[in-house]
Amino acid sequence: MTDVTDEIAEAADGSDGSEGQEREREEAVFERIEAFRRRKPRLLDEVVTSAHGAGGKASAALLDQVFLPAFTHDRKALQTDAAVITLPSGERLAFSTDSFVVKPWRFPGGSIGDLAVNGTVNDLAMMGARPIALSAGFVIEEGFAIESLREIAADMATAALKAGVSIVTGDTKVVNRGAADGVYINTAGIGIIPEGRDLTAARVIAGDAVIVSGTIGDHGTAVMLARGDMAIDAQVDSDTAALNELVEILLAAAPGTRWLRDATRGGLGTVCNELARDCNLTVRLEEALMPIRPVVGGACDMLGIDPVYVANEGKFVAVVPADEADAAVAALRQHPFGTDAARVGEMWADPPGLVVLVTPFGGTRIVDMLVGDPLPRIC
């Protein structure tokens, strides 16, 4: 891909041509950027593919052209991790649902059970909500071992206890052998949003700092290696964890926090693209500041996968005022889930709607939304 951001810098520095030629060149560069920013994923497939579940461009197209037209009248509504419902009393609830189809169902550091609890708890926490209750629905393939089901239920109970939530209702369905892949789990959850909390992209402004709560790419790499078909001998544990306590620590240290999102499918790169789209600003990331475990970076290099797109299940991305960033990072590092927290970038006004990555060598490249599905069935 041509490095458009480098062209911007060159245009700004000037050239040997006349002032009019320089202006024309600069305008041409920005026209290209505007065209890039406004590109909207199109749904061209006639059938669903694994890419539609990866959280990238194909997922966005499926959502935008199938589900949003059917279920909402406000096409400009922000797509957040949970819906916010205002009760007649004035209290606000966050409500979220998620389904988990990970293969294998047990992997280093976790299982489909604690993943299902933590994933929904985190979606609520990203809205600033304090999770209180979950539902759990199971689709079980005929022939699945009862002992394995007991282990999954125990993992869910333990995760719920750690997160301080209750699993209060549920459902089970059994399908014919071969109609599923062992077991699928759906969880939904509700949480209460304290008065005064408003974590939305609309509050983000140029100059704000971008923070990640820890190392990126751990979960996707752990699941990929657990499948055993990559011939890579390395130990990577999933980072699956409930982040509601860590969010409270962040909000106490940085009360001006603007926006939160857990970087799951599509990883940091896709999450930042959604942020740039919703606030119409540029997310400028510094590659040298990104916390990546050497074993994760090495595994991704061997497979030709950019870790910026690899999923996490126990990390969030936050945008905070620049003058609160140091306090936020310091507070996060005091918690076991935030020991590797780091400030990795900032928000810029121009060019709007892009994610730009500054390399250790001083160059820049555009980070687009994830294309395809390099790591299917990881959550």
Whole-number pLDDT of residue 47 = 84
The contacts found for 45-54 with CB under 8 angstroms, 24 or more apart, are: 49/373, 50/373, 50/376, 50/377, 51/371, 51/372, 51/373, 53/265, 53/373, 53/376, 54/265, 54/266, 54/370, 54/372, 54/373, 54/374, 54/375, 54/376
Say if residue 229 is in the same domain as residue 325: yes
Q: How many whole angstroms separate alpha carbon 233 and alpha carbon 217?
A: 17
- As separate numbers, helices (DSSP H) first and strands (DSSP E) second, the chain gives 11, 14
User: How many CB atoms lie under 10 A from the CB of residue 4?
Assistant: 18
pLDDT, tens digit, 9 for 90 and up, residues 287-297: 999 999 999 99
Tell me the percentage of the chain whose pLDDT exceeds 70: 84
Q: Do 249 and 111 belong to one domain?
A: no
User: Based on the domain organization, do 227 and 121 belong to the same domain?
Assistant: no
Residues 94 and 161 in one domain: yes
Looking at residues 85-109, what average pLDDT do you find? 95
Average of per-residue pLDDT across 333-344: 98
Which range, of 72-81, 93-102, 187-196, 254-263, averages the lowest pLDDT? Answer: 72-81
90 lies in the same domain as 34? no
Q: Per-residue pLDDT averaged across 25-54, rounded?
A: 62
Token couple for 73: 């009248």
Q: Encoding tokens for residue 114? A: 């604690």
Please indicate, yes or no, whether residues 257 and 357 belong to a single structural domain of this protein.
Answer: yes
Reported as a single tens digit per residue, the pLDDT across 109-124 is: 999 999 999 999 999 9
Same domain membership, residue 113 and residue 157? yes
Residues 378 and 100: their CA atoms lie apart, in Å, by: 9
What CA–CA distance (Å, rounded) separates 251 from 242?
Answer: 16
229 band by pLDDT with thresholds 50, 70 and 90: low
Is pLDDT of 355 > 80?
Answer: yes
Q: What is this structure's pTM?
A: 0.85
- Strand pairing partners for 284? 346, 356
CATH number of the domain where residue 329 is located: 3.90.650.10
Q: Which residues contact 70 (CB under 8 A, 6 or more apart)?
A: none
**The pLDDT value given to residue 14:** 44
Q: What integer pLDDT is reported at residue 112 of this predicted model?
A: 98
Average pLDDT over residues 12-37: 53
Domain containing residue 13: 4-38
One domain for residues 294 and 353: yes
The percent of the chain in helix, strand and coil, each rounded to the nearest 5, is: 40, 20, 40
Q: What's the confidence (pLDDT) of residue 13? A: 45
